[in-house]
Amino acid sequence: MKHVADKWHIQRKANILLVDDRPENLLALEGLLSSPYYNLISVSSGEEALKYVLTETIAVILLDVQMPGLDGFETAKIIKSRQKSKQVPIIFITAISQAIEHVMQGFEAGAIDYILKPFHPETLKMKVDAFVKIHQYQEQIKLQNKIMKVMGETLDDTVITFDVTGTILTINPAVAIMFGYSEDEIIGHHINTLVPNLSSQFSKEREAGNIVETSALRKNLSYFPADVQLGEARITGKRVFVCSIRDVTKRKEIEEERFRKIFEATPCLVSLRSLDDWKYINVNKSWLSYSGYDNYTDIIDQSSDSLTYIIHSEDMEELVLELSELNHPVHNIRISYLNHSGEMREGLLSSEFLDAHGEACLLTVITDITERALVEKEMVRLDRLNSVGEMASGIVHEIRNPLTTIRGFLQMSKEHPSSEFVDIMIEELDRAHDILSEFLSISRTDKSKQTPVELNAIIKTLYPLLQAKAMYSNKLVRLELGPCPILQLNEDEIKQLLLNLSLNGLESMQSGGALTIKTYQQDEEIILAIQDEGYGIKKELLEKIGTPFFSTKSNGTGLGLSICQKVAERQHATITIETSGNGTTFFVHFPLSKTSSTMVTL
């Protein structure tokens, strides 16, 4: 508002009316008051002065007393008698009428000052400047008042001022359309008459101009959604609040229609329930389809859980979840849910608390991932079968060695029977049995629970298999196992992770290369490092590592590293990579948890 008024003053010069019947006096005043900010209007009679006062907005009048026709006193009286010009300041300038009675007559005629000639030029100039500024301030206030009046009369928002007690002081005409009250009816009433509990909503410290979404109350006692914005001012030392109220019914209807379309179109299972009695308010088509119900009437207004939600804790224990137990929003927690048809499905559950038409509600969204879970299980199975195939040749070679030994001792025992030969043959058979058992266990797809295990023990169990694979291609596997605590892990999944990373390392090396498997503790983590002596991974391929079905091997499935990342996530671990032209190291970081036991040296 101030900016508009300031711009208006820059564009318009202040009109100063000079009235004197002597041309030399007018010329002297024009020379003294010449300014780019003033528009000097010079006239030689009272009659001419009255014409300009009628048609122009005058900031100040410099008026001679002794003039033919209408003298200065008569001219001043006429100017002051008119509504448009009665506030214009008049300064009498005279060299003749210096008697005290003339001075008194001048002030009685409405003059604001009476200057006798000869006068001090700078003094007169300063007085004119002061009256011009007063005039500009008055014009600015008039402009602002006009703008405020127009805004108040044309604005659709209801604008209210009220005092610290909440008593309404002023209100614009929009109150009649928005609330059904006339201005006279509502002035003097409490602000809560229009916006119930407004004072409590603004009781907390809020930044000026903040908008609060609430409900307003019409005269007919019907509510409507409203945006309320509050500001504070001080007038003559007293606090006054300015409040604007906007009816947002149309906006809410648009938002609700948009929400309804999203609600119905989403493939996720969406339900809305009341927090008061836990009755279903609404469910979407996907919810009906996946839940096994046929009609909305079977669900709406029912308070019992129509689906059974099952979550898995970190120790893989299954817990039935009651939605009424949710005291805070959740985001994408993995669940299983049993539908009305008795089918167990997989999903990701998210929830949010919200207000719907003044009622506290719980919005739940389930992303059904049953099909995705089946694909993930099939990926794991295929990856394990692929690992079995890769190791088959090495295992055959490893088993052939004890069988050859046994055959030799059997031939020797024909000629020289000895219990020592029998013991050796039993040991070799046991060794072959252990290798085959571990080999077959790799292809299992069932998931065991997380249990306290020794990471180093798992590595040692797999070592014969890895060494067999390495020896078949003239390579070497080295173990550098440091002290590790007992960790809460899924042993079968850790075996698969270790096997996948180790086989990748062996395949990346030429004959004669060595694969090093290390374990050590660093800060609050246990590190499993698998280091090869290959050619490294190209920089442009690093970001694609772990993407399903992406492989640099001609016969690779691209599942191995993707499975490793999934396994690591389920163990709350992370995988990082360091690579160069001298080889690549995969680091698996296992965070130390409260379930970790004391250090075990192997």
Which CATH number goes with the domain that contains 134?
A: 3.40.50.2300
Are 193 and 239 part of one and the same domain?
A: yes
How much of the chain, in percent, has pLDDT values that exceed 90? 14
Q: Please say which residue of 198, 220, 247 terminates a domain.
A: 247
**Residue for token pair 């202040």:** 14
pTM: 0.41
Per the structure, the complete domain to which residue 192 belongs is given by 156-247
CATH of the domain at 217: 3.30.450.20
Q: Please say which residue of 218, 247, 276 terminates a domain.
A: 247
Are 419 and 348 part of one and the same domain?
A: no
Burial of 400 (0-12, 13-18, 19+ CB in 10 A): exposed
Are 314 and 444 part of one and the same domain?
A: no
530 and 585 Cβ atoms separated by less than 8 Å: yes
Neighbours of 497 (CB within 10 A): 28
271 and 263 Cβ atoms separated by less than 8 Å: no
Q: Please say which residue of 128, 151, 174 terminates a domain.
A: 151
CA atoms within 13 A on the CB side of 73: 11
**For the segment 9-67, what is each residue's pLDDT rounded down to a tens digit?**
444 688 999 999 889 889 988 888 888 889 999 999 989 999 998 888 888 999 888 88
Q: How many structural domains does the chain have?
A: 4
Are 241 and 274 part of one and the same domain?
A: no
Query: Quick one: which H or E segment has residue 165?
Result: none
Are 545 and 444 part of one and the same domain?
A: yes
**For the segment 460-474, what is each residue's pLDDT rounded down to a tens digit?**
988 887 887 788 788
Supply the pLDDT for residue 334: 85
Supply the pLDDT for residue 418: 58
Are 91 and 194 part of one and the same domain?
A: no
How much of the chain, in percent, has pLDDT values that exceed 70? 75
Kindly report whether the peptide bond that precedes residue 68 is cis, defined as omega within 30 degrees of 0: no
Our separate counts of H helices and E strands in the chain read: 17, 26
**For the segment 420-431, what is each residue's pLDDT rounded down to a tens digit?**
556 656 666 766
Are 229 and 299 part of one and the same domain?
A: no
Are 139 and 279 part of one and the same domain?
A: no
Are 508 and 583 part of one and the same domain?
A: yes
Low-confidence ranges of the chain (pLDDT < 50): 1-11, 205, 442-443, 445-446, 547-550, 554-558, 594-602
Are 507 and 577 part of one and the same domain?
A: yes
Are 263 and 200 part of one and the same domain?
A: no
Q: Which residues contact 140 (CB under 8 A, 6 or more apart)?
A: 5, 6, 8, 9
Q: Which residues contact 72 (CB under 8 A, 6 or more apart)?
A: 19, 46, 63, 64, 65, 66, 92, 94, 106, 109
Are 79 and 115 part of one and the same domain?
A: yes
